[in-house]
Structure 1
Amino acid sequence: MTRPLHACLAAAMASFALGGAPALAQELAQDQDTLEIGRSAQTAHSGAFNGEEVRYDALVEESLLPGPDGAPGAGLVTTSYVRTDSGEPAGERPVLFLFNGGPGASTTPLHFGAFGPKRRVELDEGEQYIVDNPFSPLNDVDLVFIDPVGTGYSQPVEDGQAFWSRTGDAQSVARVIGSWLERHGRTDSPRYLLGQSYGTIRAAEIVRLAPELEFDGVLLFALVGGGRDELIGHVTDLPSMAATAWYHERAGRDGRPVEEVYADAVEFARTDYVTALMLGGALPEARREAMAERLSAMTGLEADAIAAQNLRISKRDFIFGLLEDEGLRTGRLDTRATARLDAPAQRPPYDDPGLSYVPAADIPDIACPAPDCLQAPGEESIVDVYYQDVLGYDAPGDYNALNLEVNGAWDYEDRGDPIPALAEAMHARPDLRLFWAAGYFDLATTAYGGRFTLDQAGIPADRLTAAYFKSGHSVFVGEDNLEALSEAVRDFTAPSE
């Protein structure tokens, strides 16, 4: 039976137009027909993914969204890869909608670093190539990469503020997803939603705002948690600090792999450590000193410094203190990365050595340049070259991978953690499942912080698939991680038997 996509959307959007863009919500709710398409391109391709030869179409489409006054407000560009030789009826083949976070970040990391049929690699300083991605899950699931308004080639007609809020953003993306399913005759297809970083908030908001889309599953990478007070924040940060100290050999390994170190730190954090923090000034001095020594052995920081901070280790103190004797700091998005403490100051997030970090051992062993390697001439963006030369898309400007103006203009609406709403949706729909992935070396959205958020929100444990990776914020960095992640995503989106 075809799923009704738009029967309740007007009421849902009107009901949840909170704070960010009520006028936009009303306009989006007025007309639920398939959105008009502006610029577009369609090309045919083939590739080998996970050992299987695949023919597929690539479709780049600019969906025209109305603004608060009913006039054209923005063009939101999606890039779809649809298998054409599977032999499956369209209604049986799953489709996965993907976006990154920011706010203001394009889908580039997921598109060209993880799941697209092509991926971007940098083999030498300043030289980037587009090469085949053998780990794309396209052999099993169709892919729709979404660049929210203000990112990629998606641009507002004039002022984009109506789209740059927690509600307005989620509504616009939900509207495009519904329109895509209608336009391409995929309203019977199993459908999945994947968000990374801030995209995890967007995904939860879409499930809340547009329940009629009836996703079969939601995938959250590097979950942005909320609602934790300062004390719990120290508890949930500790396991990632222990994993980082293990990586940099500043804590005793005793033959233990990082998985065991992390698990031991989780158990310690939610028992002895949280008890000590809750006691505060009532903690006897002898116990305080003993606890500081245990934390020192686990994190690599000096026991005296930990005790002086009342056993509370801030992220900043850890990042700048762990390798201070070497004149180094660690990254935040990926704590395996390092930079000189005396390095010239940079504007955030570019001051974080963990941004876009790839360990030398994980750089693909690819012989480029070669006929199957796409390279950008001069200063031109490799992504722009790919869209123009491979996908045939006539873009109106340059691809905007990271828009800090959007980030600065964002209205978070101060409505707290959206994950409880996702848990409510799962309780209302017993067939809705959740996949969550986290990196051991991510100190921005820590692994235990993500799990704590899910548990406290009431996510049903029997419908949660949890996956941990030896990575930072981007769980797909490194071919071993990418191969394992691709398999896990294909398993999660596979039709149930």
Structure 2
Amino acid sequence: MRASLRALLMGACLTLAPMGAGAVLAAPSAAVRAPVVATTQHVGTFNGQKVAYKAIVAETFLTDGAGAPTGSLVTTAYVRTDAKDAARPVLFLFNGGPGASTTPLHFGAFGPKKRTEDGPNQRMVDNPDSILDAVDLVFIDPIGTGYSRPFPGVDGKTFWSRSGDAAAVKTVMAQWLKANGREASPRYMLGQSYGTTRAALVAGIGADLKLDGVLLFALVGNPAGLEMPYVTTLPTFATTAWYHRKVDRAGRSVQDVHDEAVEFARTAYVTALIKGASLPEAEKRAVAEKMSAMIGLPTEFILAKDLRLSREDFMFNLLKDQGLRTGQLDGRATARLDAPARRPPYDDPGMGFAEPRPAGPAPTGALPVGKGMNALESYFKDTLKFRTGETYNSLNLDVNAAWDHQGMADVNGLLGKAMQASPKLRLFWAAGYYDVTTPPYGARYALDQAGVPGERLTAAYFDGGHSVFTDPGNHAALSAAVRKFVRP
């Protein structure tokens, strides 16, 4: 599995259940039962407001063209019940992978409860930064993740492709709005990592959803060509080198460093790469020296790479003198170069990394954990009363291995087309300065080339990596930015 692909498997997934290809199909047939729906009532305090809400964990049965059931996709919705507001929006959320559940967004960012710690000390506690005060939330676990499964006898590959997955998610969004009487509500969708690719594909086939906005976290750009893959990663190399003090900070903030590197990348650097073999040696050395001062790697190393540095070149050489490598999901993280090999994506020290910060208020509202269960399973089965014999799959590497990318690369042009077709459609994009996997400038370049109108784009940069909400210091600011976007 390529490093760039496996790095998209999100690092906050803590309960990976081993499952072979056959185990994925172990679900009751739709022919002998009705969809399971569990509704419970709750109260929480979010953004300083006391909020009464209901949680709805529900199966949606998917069917093929002939109407035969093919799978069960489970959503977890939180709907405010103490505020009658006809203009109250709905936000659909999904994560990436492929093969990742909504766990990071659900229990690390926006759900009413968040998961603390690892291992046996895990608990579900209150999340005061949940955005449930402003918007109803519907977390979508695609087939093969969470509790969502193909039905027996149905090949999961029906869903494990870009087009099949997008069609299933779009169908579930439309059915949820209809089933819950929310067809007149403003509606938004949020995707992270590969979820941004899914969001673009859904936007491409979902004109009938009449979306008001799309939110993209850690946008997958992947620009093609002989120059742009290197041009778009350079600013993140610069911010990471700045963080590790491998370059002169000179009183500059991380934003200053990023902006300076973007300006260099889109001018002198791309010009040098375009010239290729015709670039005079003196000019080539001058560019290499500038890069060295900017990203912390030796001039001679940069020259030996012909000014073109891969992610691996940077990650495994920036801190080589200390016997360390950087992370990819988060360049601030480190691991020893001689560390024992681990199964991808767990070989990336950037998984789940958060910069240590002073302890905040003690978490409140800790839920008990049922005997023989982890905190997540207990939350679904004991607190939300969702009865299933399945085990929640936070991260399914079998789905990732089976995924058919269908030869498609950058699909962000679908977002541009959707926005041009719908004047009301707006875009929110959040990026972490240290995200080596999906670099911020790569994302911005992709959006610019996709034809996204600048006046309808809200960009939010954070002092973080791939999952900006991993850092507690970003929680309140991220939630505030999303609230402002969905309730303009």
The TM-score normalised by the length of structure 2 is: 0.90
- Name the SS for the 2:385 alignment partner: coil
Select 2:275's aligned residue among 270, 273, 279: 279
Which residue matches 1:386?
379
For 2:450 and 2:192, the matched residues in 1 are separated by 19
In the alignment, the residues of structure 2 paired with residue 42 and residue 463 of structure 1 have an alpha-carbon distance, to the nearest angstrom, of 37
Residues in 2 aligned to 1:169 and 1:46: alpha-carbon distance in whole angstroms: 34
Alignment-mate amino acid for residue 391 of structure 2: D
- Is the 2:352–2:470 Cα contact (8 Å) retained in structure 1? no
Once residues 262 and 37 of structure 1 are traced to their aligned partners in structure 2, the CA distance between those partners, rounded to angstroms, is 53
Given candidates 71, 96, 102, the residue that maps to 2:91 is: 96
Aligned match of 1:269:
265
The equivalences for 1:383-462 within 5 A come to 383-462=376-455
Unaligned runs of 5+ in 2: 1-32
Instruction: Read off the aligned partner of 1:106 and give its amino acid letter.
Output: S
Q: Does 1:166 align with 2:162?
A: yes
Q: Deviations over 1:139-197 (max 9, x none)?
A: 00000000000000001113211011111101111111111000000000000010001
The residue that corresponds to 1:219 in the other structure is: 215
Query: How far apart are residue 359 of structure 1 and its match?
Result: 2.3
For residues 333 and 279 of structure 1, do their structure 2 counterparts lie closer, same or farther at Cα, with a shift above 3 Å needed?
same
Q: Distance in 2 between matches of 1:378 and 1:310?
A: 58
CA displacement 1:404-460 (0-9 Å, x = unmatched): 100011111113322112111111111110111111000100000000000011100
Cα pair 1:67 1:74 within 8 Å, conserved: no
SS in 1 for 2:447: helix
Matched, 1:469 2:462: yes
Match in the other structure for 2:483 = 490
SS at match of 2:468: coil
SS at match of 2:41: strand
Q: Secondary structure at the match of 2:409?
A: coil
Which residue of structure 2 aligns with residue 257 of structure 1?
253
Residues 1:136 and 2:130 aligned together: yes
State whether residues 37 and 61 of structure 1, in contact with CA within 8 Å, keep that contact through their aligned partners in structure 2: no
Which residue is equivalent to 1:58? 55
Alignment partner, residue 189 of structure 1: 185
Larger deviation, residues 220-229 vs 41-50: 220-229
Q: 1:294 to 1:58 in 2, by over 3 A?
A: same
Q: Which amino acid aligns with 2:382?
A: D
Q: Could you list the per-position Cα deviations for residues 364-414 of structure 1 after superposition, in whole angstroms to 9, with x for gaps in the alignment?
A: 64547x7x2235467732210111121111122211000010001111111
Quote how far apart the aligned CAs of 1:224 are.
Answer: 0.7
Aligned residues: 454
Q: Check the 8 A contact 2:186/2:212 in 1, yes or no.
A: yes
Q: Specify the SS of the correspondent of 2:251.
A: coil
In the aligned structure 2, how far is the partner of 1:188 from the partner of 1:230? 47
Q: Is the 8 A contact 1:128 1:375 kept in 2?
A: no
Corresponding residue for 2:110?
115
Aligned-residue offset at 1:234 = 0.4
User: Any idea what SS the aligned residue of 2:357 has?
Assistant: helix
Contact 1:68 1:162 in 2 (8 A): no
| Structure 1 residues 377 and 42: CA distance shift in structure 2, 3 A | closer
Structure 1 residue 480: Cα displacement: 2.5
Deviation of 1:229 (Å) = 1.7
Q: 1:105 matched to which residue of 2?
A: 100
The one-character-per-residue Cα deviations of 1:52-106 (angstroms, maximum 9, x if unpaired) are: 11000000001111146643211100000000011313xx210000000100000
SS in 2 for 1:111: helix
Shift of 1:302: 0.9
Structure 1 gap segments, 5+ residues each: 1-35
1:220-369 matches, cutoff 5 A: 220-361=216-357, 365=360, 367=362
In structure 1, the partner of 2:41 is 44
Report if aligned partners of 2:120, 2:374 keep a CA contact under 8 Å in 1: no
Give the distance between the partners of 1:396 and 1:211, measured in 2 at CA: 36
* Shift in CA distance, 274/37, structure 1 to aligned 2, threshold 3 Å: farther
**Take 1:400 and 1:210, find their aligned partners in 2: how far apart are those partners?**
27
- 1:37 positional shift: 5.7
Check whether the contact 1:439–1:468 (CA below 8 A) recurs between aligned residues. Answer: yes
Please state how far the C-alpha of 1:228 moved relative to its aligned partner: 2.0
Q: Aligned with 1:264: secondary structure?
A: helix
C-alpha distance in structure 2 between counterparts of 1:191 and 1:252, whole Å: 46
Task: Give the SS at the match of 2:55.
Answer: strand
Partner of 1:156: 150
Residue 74 of structure 2 is aligned with which of 59, 63, 77? 77
Compared CA separation, residues 212 and 413, structure 1 to 2 (3 A): same
Q: Do 2:222 and 2:442's aligned partners in 1 also have CA atoms closer than 8 Å?
A: no
Q: Is the 8 A contact 1:37 1:62 kept in 2?
A: no
